[in-house]
């Protein structure tokens, strides 16, 4: 299976996939040369996603996971139309989980600017339950802090408190962590919001949807075998390896470099 993200955040999704489906093979591509996607126009992100998904499809994967909320917001319908293999994004599983979790029908969303602007969460939640109110807040400071040297430092906590303010004012009881980086600092979010607020994030929900898709289409591997995984990046391979291990919570021995020109040809 192919998994991609703008950087290493999607490794939180890959981790759950590896745990849920240890018998499957995975190839993960992080587009570090064009990180971050969040501030970019949706049309540009859509082009990047089509290039990467096309490249992964050329690697003979049997399913593609868009392990990036911004890329899912920008490109999921187009990728599902264009690719011959199934494509799973990270937004639909979260929307389902949030609607099921909320008790007062007030849901908060913390995400990148592009994800907030795209409005995909609002549309999906509204389709599931038109009575649920979504309050969305863009969090531009979080990804650099989480990828920095001190992700659990005071600056991160201060940023989370700032972004949590409008959600508290709205009285939400459920918060979607709408960026694959955010689960890495889940304890900070839980501390700021308290036990009374349910946190929803993509990794577990997405892995479950991937497993169900494989089973439904009868393309899963035999459970007796041990799967493999490869890592690719458009950026610096050593930087990916060091930071990636923090997100994957598993060793990464080798990372391959992919040229942007190769991705552009795949589109």
Q: What ranges in 30-153 are assigned the alpha helix state H?
A: 42-57, 69-82, 91-101, 113-118, 120-128, 142-146
Exactly one of 68, 145, 172, 243 is catalytic; which is it? 68
Q: Smallest Cα–Cα separation from 12: which of 184, 138, 238, 214?
A: 184
Q: DSSP letter for 117, please.
A: H
Exactly one of 75, 179, 199, 258 is catalytic; which is it? 179
Tokens standing for residue 30: 């992080």
Q: Smallest Cα–Cα separation from 139: which of 18, 234, 9?
A: 9
Active site residue 17: no
Positive or negative CA dihedral for 195, 196, 199, 204? positive
Whether residue 229 contacts residue 14, with contact meaning beta carbons closer than 8 Å, is answered with: yes
Write the CB contacts of 224 (distance below 8 Å, at least 6 apart in sequence). Answer: 23
Q: DSSP letter for 84, please.
A: S
**Dist. CA 264–CA 81, nearest whole Å:** 19
Residue whose tokens read 């493999």: 228
The strand pairing partners of 230, in sequence order, are 27
Active-site residues, by number, are: 68, 179
């Amino acid at each position: 299976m192919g998994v991609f993200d703008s950087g290493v955040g999607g490794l939180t999704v890959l981790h759950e996939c590896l745990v849920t489906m240890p018998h499957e093979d995975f190839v993960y591509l992080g587009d570090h040369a064009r990180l971050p996607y969040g501030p970019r126009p949706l049309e540009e992100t859509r082009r990047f996603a089509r290039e990467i998904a096309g490249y992964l499809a050329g690697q003979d994967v049997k399913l593609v996971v868009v392990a990036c909320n911004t890329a899912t917001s920008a490109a999921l319908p187009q990728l599902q139309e264009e690719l011959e293999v199934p494509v799973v994004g990270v937004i639909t599983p979260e929307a389902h989980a949030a609607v099921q979790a909320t008790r007062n029908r007030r849901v908060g969303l913390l995400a990148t600017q592009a994800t907030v602007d795209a409005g995909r969460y609002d549309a999906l939640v509204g389709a599931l339950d038109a009575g649920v109110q979504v309050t969305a807040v863009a969090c531009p400071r979080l990804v650099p802090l989480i990828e920095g040297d001190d992700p659990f430092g005071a600056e991160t906590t201060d940023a989370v408190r700032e972004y949590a303010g409008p959600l508290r004012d709205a009285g939400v009881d459920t918060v979607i962590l709408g960026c694959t980086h955010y689960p890495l600092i889940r304890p900070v979010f839980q501390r700021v919001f308290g036990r009374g607020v349910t946190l929803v994030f993509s990794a577990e929900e997405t892995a479950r949807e991937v497993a169900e898709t494989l089973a439904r289409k009868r393309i899963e591997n035999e459970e007796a075998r041990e799967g493999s995984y490869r890592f690719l990046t458009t950026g610096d391979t050593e930087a990916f390896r060091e930071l990636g291990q923090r997100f994957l919570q598993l060793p990464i021995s080798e990372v391959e470099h992919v040229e942007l020109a190769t991705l552009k040809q795949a589109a």
